[in-house]
Amino acid sequence: MAMTDSTGSTWRYTWARQQNERRRRAFRTVERAWRRRDDELRRLRALAVGLRGTASAGVGLPLALSPGEAVLWTMPGAQLVELRHTAVLPAPDLVVEADPGRLRHRLPDGVRVTDAGIAVVTNRRLVLVGGRGRRDWAYGKMTGLLHDPAAPVTLIQVLDRRQTSGLLLPPGAAAEFRFVLTLAFADAIEHRAAVLAQLDELIATHAETTPFRPAIATPAQARISARIPGGRRTVAVAAMLTLVVPAVLVESDPPVTPEVAAAATAAPAPPRTRPPSPAPSPSVVRERRCGAPANPMGYDYCGGDRVREPDHRVCDWFDCVPQFWAGHGYLVLCRDGAVSLTGGRPKPCAGHDGVRRTVDR
């Protein structure tokens, strides 16, 4: 038996069920992404505490270790790269990337591959054991270090070598390599605690972005536009036509025939005085929205304060993009008519033809 409200309608319950399902899907998507990042940060924290390395980890490697040297990490399939031109790299630092982007297996301009082999990170140096020989980068001699933000390439400068060189790693191993290298360099200068402090701060900051469950939509919140095919857009077009069509009819003059003209000149009508039109009541003055749909939150397209934390009812009054609540910017209107929470972020309204305007309040 279908559920009905006091008026006997079922469409309100259908609307509420669909709204709640859409909100649940969006929340689950955001929550899964948040949990993946939280697990990764905590894994790195545990790795930073427990990664000490052992000499036995280098057994079987074609590499002679110095007394007290321990192997922290190894990766086969690494490639030695060299920079064709002269460049000055930034000094090595202990920054842990807050949110490393996705890397593509490609070579930046001016970089060439000269060898391939096994990359070995020890507590004293980075080594590539390749088919043409061995290349060492001692931490104590590093003067420059650069991780490419778009490719799995790390470039290094050292005091005893003029040419800039580095490693090209498999994309899936680049983030782990960069973190271990940062940790090894921090150990070499006795600043591992600084890396741990960064990770603690990243974990605390990430905890502040914990996604909240969306509010439950009720049948009473359903608007009549939900029953009309096309929803709010159809209602907006109909409202516009009701305003435009009467205005066009009033402004258009009927054709004047000779009989009408003669009658008008023969018997002029007495002048009539038009009664003064009453001032519009404040209650009937139209709300300024500049094309935005009517909404109880006061959002419009007229310019003002940007909306960075929209009301939980925003998707009841505006057409929201899929995964709307996954955005971390301010509220914008996309060119396809949907609203997105990606203003101020890279590629806002991606997949929706770009940004048309900002939603303000």
Asked whether residue 267 carries a pLDDT value surpassing 60, the answer given is no
Residue 294 lies in a domain: yes
Residue 356's pLDDT is what?
A: 87
146 and 36 within one domain: no
Cα dihedral 38/42/45/47 (nearest 10) = -120
Going 117 to 118 to 121 to 125, the CA torsion angle's sign is negative
Q: Is residue 274 part of a domain?
A: no
Domain count, the chain: 3
Mean pLDDT on 86-114: 86
* Residue type for position 128: L
pLDDT for the residue 228: 61
Lowest mean per-residue pLDDT among 131-145, 198-212, 254-268: 254-268
Partners of 75 in the β-ladder: 119
pLDDT computed for residue 312 by the predictor: 87
Q: Is the pLDDT assigned to residue 247 strictly greater than 60?
A: no
pLDDT value at 285 more than 90: no
Mean pLDDT within 207-231: 79
- Residue 316 has a CB neighbour count (10 Å cut-off) of 20
- Mean pLDDT throughout 257-284? 46
* Domain assignment of residue 85, yes or no: yes
Asked if residue 124 belongs to a domain, the reply is yes
Query: Do residues 99 and 201 share a domain?
Result: no
297 and 338, same structural domain? yes
- Overall residue count recorded for the chain in this entry: 361
Does residue 55 carry a pLDDT above 80? no
- Residue 288: pLDDT above 70? no
Where residue 234 falls among pLDDT bands split at 50, 70, 90? low
My answer on whether 66 and 174 are in the same domain is yes
Strand partners, 11: none
**What is the per-residue pLDDT for 111?**
93
- The answer to the question of residue 214 being in a domain is yes
Q: What is the DSSP letter of 169?
A: -
- End residue of a domain, out of 183, 202, 225: 183
Q: Where is average pLDDT lowest: 194-198, 203-207, 324-328?
A: 324-328
**Position 252 in a domain:** no
Which residue, of 183, 214, 249, is where some domain finishes? 183
pLDDT of res. 12: 87
Which of 296, 294, 269, 47 is closest to 177 using CA atoms? 47
Place of tokens 């404040």: 282
Is there a single domain that holds both residue 116 and residue 25? no
Pair (25, 111) in one structural domain: no
Task: Give yes or no: residues 75 and 174 share one domain.
Answer: yes
Residue 141 CA to its chain's centroid (Å): 39
Whether 40 and 100 share a structural domain: no
The verdict on residue 29 lying in a domain is yes
CA distance 156 to 166: 5
103 and 18 assigned to the same domain = no
The answer as to whether 229 is a domain residue is yes
pLDDT band at residue 174 using 50, 70 and 90 as cut-offs: very high
One domain for residues 41 and 150? no
Question: What is the three-class DSSP state of 152?
Answer: coil
Does the pLDDT of residue 262 top 70, yes or no? no
pLDDT value of residue 238: 56
The DSSP element (H or E) to which 78 belongs, if any, is strand 71-83
Q: Distance (Å, rounded) from C-alpha 151 to C-alpha 82?
A: 15
> Are 178 and 65 in the same domain?
yes
Examine the fold and report which residue of 153, 183, 213 is the final residue of a domain before the chain moves on.
183
User: Quick one: 81 and 178 in the same domain?
Assistant: yes
The answer to whether the CB of 184 falls within 8 A of the CB of 123 is yes
* Segments forming the whole domain that contains residue 151: 60-183
| Three-class SS state of 257 | coil
- Domain at 67, CATH number: 2.30.29.30
In terms of Cβ atoms closer than 10 Å to its own Cβ (0-12, 13-18, 19+), residue 352 is: buried
> What is the pLDDT of the chain when averaged over all its residues?
82
Rounded to a whole number, what is the distance in angstroms from the first to the last CA of the chain?
Answer: 43
Query: Global pTM?
Result: 0.59
CA distances in angstroms from 272 to 210, 261, 266, 275, listed in the order given: 71, 19, 18, 9
The beta-carbon contacts of 312-321 under 8 Å, at least 24 apart in sequence, are: 312/214, 312/215, 313/215, 313/221, 314/339, 315/19, 315/22, 315/23, 316/19, 316/217, 316/221, 316/223, 317/232, 317/293, 318/293, 318/359, 319/231, 319/232, 319/233, 321/349, 321/351, 321/352
